[in-house]
Amino acid sequence: MTPEQNDSVGIVVPQTLHFDQPLTLACGRALPKHDIVYETYGSLNPDKSNGILICHALSGHHHAAGIHHADDRKPGWWDSCIGPGKPIDTNVFFVLSINNIGGCNGSTGPTAINPDTGKPWGPDFPPLRCRDWVESQYLMMQHFGISQWAAIIGGSLGGMQAMRWALEYPDAMRHCIVIASAMKLSAQNIAFNEIARRAITSDPNFFEGRYLEHNTLPRQGLALARMVGHITYLSEDGMKQKFGRELKTGNLNLGSGSDSDVEFEVESYLRYQGEAFSGSFDANTYLLMTKALDYYDLAREYNDDPVQAFSHAKCAFMVISFTTDWRFAPARSREIVDALVAANKSVSYAQIEADHGHDAFLIPIPRYMDVFHAYMKRLKQELGHAL
């Protein structure tokens, strides 16, 4: 490892854990068996009290830190926060990052083979709720012999999973760190998700979700869905700073030629993002995940009272939001904080100035890193680790 890489977890190898026991889902159906792909960073201490679970967002997966080979130029999606000396310090903590069921990065999902048919699950894969991911993560916890997580941490949809953990298994965690998240989606968020889903299902190569059986992919629809989603993850100021009205090709001067030659930088960027995503992500997984996101409502079975819901939690909370995040606005994080305070729970809150919109939770913004570091020092102190 070179000096400039001494804060990296280095080369990591994804692993697969197979579960033969049926997993009963919230919809009433069960997966007869399933696989979970995961990565770990750091080592468990003797009493297994230093475990941290990372919950991923909509298009996330198990590869959260490090690289997969020496020439890998794309580290894990949260490499800025996980590693030696980073906020989630792998010199101190054992970190588990998994690809949720329903995913398309190796864990059992729509692209996996349905044992009843011998064909890909496709649209027949059972609908999921956030609590289903918690249940499968709990099986992973048991596999590693961990009785209580030092913390469960997640951004966006990952933060929703972390909060669900606090209600479903209140004794199984000491800290819950919720970043750029909400207790339920707004109507506007649901609307954006529906537009993205409609883009996919309207693709002529969708074949009612059985595109793999037709040896094709709804790439155009999935690319459009990603483009719509990506716009909502960015802020207006951030897009202005990054792209402005700069041209990739062509000229806007009168008499300079055909307007068909004109392409703005932002157009080129969105097309690239859409095309790359459509070749790496599964359309049925996208439909499944966005529906689970839409259905999430932390307080639904608690008389729609978030204070009553959080009264079941026993852990301490850290909540972080970002000023230009309009997809999961700071107001949604303050709702979480207000409910926790009213439920007499220990909670810290930070609102971070950032121009990056919802994507800010993935970016090493200095104050964000300082706040994250400071809170994680509390966890180190609890473990008796010298600072």
Strand 151-155 and strand 51-55: pairing?
A: parallel
First to last CA, the chain: 24
Length of the chain: 387
Say which of 59, 80, 97, 156 is annotated catalytic. 156
Amino acid at 303: N
3 state DSSP class of 335: helix
Residue at token pair 């309207």: 202
Among 325, 333, 355, 356, which one carries the catalytic annotation? 325
Q: Is the dihedral of CA 360, 366, 372, 373 positive or negative?
A: positive
Residue showing tokens 């918690």: 134
Is-catalytic flag, 358?
Answer: yes
Contact 222, 277 (CB under 8 A): yes
Cβ contact 30:51 at 8 Å: no
- Whose CA is closest to 146, among 120, 174, 167? 174
Instruction: Give CA–CA dist 86/303, Å, rounded.
Output: 40
Contact partners, residue 317, CB within 8 Å, separation at least 6 = 166, 175, 176, 177, 178, 336, 340, 345, 346, 347, 348
Residue 359 in marked binding region: yes
226 is in an annotated binding site: yes
- Shortest CA distance to 161 belongs to which of 188, 179, 144, 147? 179
Q: Which residues belong to the active site?
A: 156, 325, 358
| Bind-site residues for substrate | 226, 359
